[in-house]
Each structure stands twice: as structure tokens, then as C-alpha cells.
Amino acid sequence: MKVPVEIQKLITAVEKAKANSGKRAFTQAVDLIVKLRDVDIKKPENRINELIELPNPFGKPVKICVIASGALSVNAKKAAADLVLEKEDLERISKDKKAAKKLANDYDFFIAEAPLMPIVGKTLGAVLGPRGKMPTPIPPNAQIEPILAKHRKMVRVRTRDQPIIQCRIGTEDLPNEKIADNAKVVLTRLEEKLENGLKNVKEVRIKTTMGQLVKIEF
């Protein structure tokens, strides 16, 4: 089933959102906000926590932490991972709750060498789990550079304690068409994920950081 939202309607909504955002001293983000209906998010099977690769860069620098050892650790540093942690680093951080929380808040995505996942769960699970940031496991011999490149184009789409999803799809300096393309990719994934597709979507809106909500009709 195709998403019943015409790309032109998305582009128009982005234009309106930018127009009513006012001039600010910073570059505003553009967010997609989706309100769900007939979805009981108290049930684990109905919760959404998806990593979605967007077709266009969305303006925000994505910070990635790689947890690895040996050659994978060395390669991750060469590939310009924002932070590389090894086993001893995990053990040190696990003894400092403040440092663990700061790590969880400061980094958008975590990637971990698969054999280290049990240690990651034991040392950082309590701070990463509730934030929906448990690492993506990869083999010790994985090619880390393309994995990092892919994650830098990803956005996390997640329900929390309300049936509402809000995620960044661009910044106001990104062309309207590219923001609209990003929005459509997110909506398509939601259609696939929700039990009744977009029948479970009550409304979709777009807004800038300081702007008003703009509703999309579909």
C-alpha cells in the first residue's frame, strides 16, 4: 500500500511551517509529529522504536559511539567514530552513574562488537535501555566505515509514554523537497510498522523549533 500523502502536500506543509517560524538567531529544526490512535502503547508489541535511514541529510550532526576491541576498535577510530570505548572503559563508566547518564545523553547511536553485548547490557543497559539506545551489534570483522556512514543518515522514531512520535526530518535551510522526502520515508515505515497501517494515524503535523504546527491532510 502506498502512503496516501501526496509529496506536494508535504512540500506545502513544510513551506507553511517555515513561513510562520519567524526569524531566529539560529537554524531551526524541522520536526515531523505523528499522533496515533487505537494503539495501546502500554503493550510491548505496540511500542515503536525504529532506526530509519533518511534519503537526505537532515542538518544535525549525528554523534556515534562505537564499543569495540582489537582491530575493530582501531578501524573505528580511523573511520572517525565520535567516541570509541573498549572493555576497560565500560567497567570504569559503570562505576560512575553520572558519567554513564552523560554518555547516554550525549550520543545519538551506539554500535557494539557483538561479543561485547553482554558486558554492554550489564554496564550500560540501565541507562541506554530506557532511552531506546541499546547498541546495534556487529561482527568483530565488520567493515565499520559504511556502518558509520549509514547511521549518520538515520533518525530514531520512537513512542514514549504517549501515542505520539516526534522526530527531526531536517533543518530550515534544507530545501523543502528534501525535507518532504524525509517525511515520506518516515511515514512509509510507520505504515509498515503499525498493525492497521495509516488507519492507526490520527494526524500528522510539521513544525519548526519555534514555529506553529502545520497539519497535513491525507
Sign (positive/negative) of CA torsion 87, 50, 11, 204? negative
CATH 3.40.50.790 holds for 64-151? yes
Every domain of the chain and the residues it spans: 7-58+157-216, 64-151
CATH 3.90.1010.10 holds for 7-58+157-216? no
Q: What pLDDT score does 4 carry?
A: 56
Q: What pLDDT score does 1 carry?
A: 43
Mean pLDDT (the chain) is 91
Alpha helices in the chain (DSSP H): 7-19, 70-78, 87-94, 97-106, 117-128, 144-151, 176-193
Indicate the pTM of the whole model. 0.81
How far is 72 from 47, CA to CA, in rounded Å? 33
pLDDT 10s digits, 102-114: 999 999 999 999 9
Give the model's confidence band at 38: pLDDT under 50 very low, under 70 low, under 90 confident, else very high: very high
- Between CA 184 and CA 191, with CA 185 as vertex, the angle to 5 degrees is 85
pLDDT 10s digits, 154-207: 998 988 889 999 999 999 999 999 999 999 999 999 998 888 888 899 999 999
Per-residue pLDDT at 127 exceeds 80? yes
Strands 136-138 and 83-85: unpaired
